[in-house]
Amino acid sequence: MRQFRPPELAAHIQSGHTPVLLDVREPWEWNLCRLPGAILIPMRELPARLSELNKNAETVVICHHGVRSYHAARYLETAGFVDVVNLAGGVAAWADEVDPAMPRY
């Protein structure tokens, strides 16, 4: 599985790539801050909602610090997803490295 640090993901998107940004945090976390264009499927709901996702699309998995997203990304790979990327450092690192205006928690 690939991993991007936030600046790498920002550059990837700016260069014209359009990955699915899959946020696996809880709704209360999502309500505090999120990456633009991300979709929310909490990690606990992921097995039941796999059909909502395209197994062939580049999918970047996001959480608070990158741990839950790493496990969710590994799960997606075992479920047959072909291009999965973990956002190392999560939204906390995104706020530190890309968007200092993003709320932190």
Catalytic residues: 63
Helix (H, G, I), strand (E, B) or coil at 55: coil
86 - beta bridge partners? 3, 61
- CB atoms closer than 10 angstroms to residue 17: 11
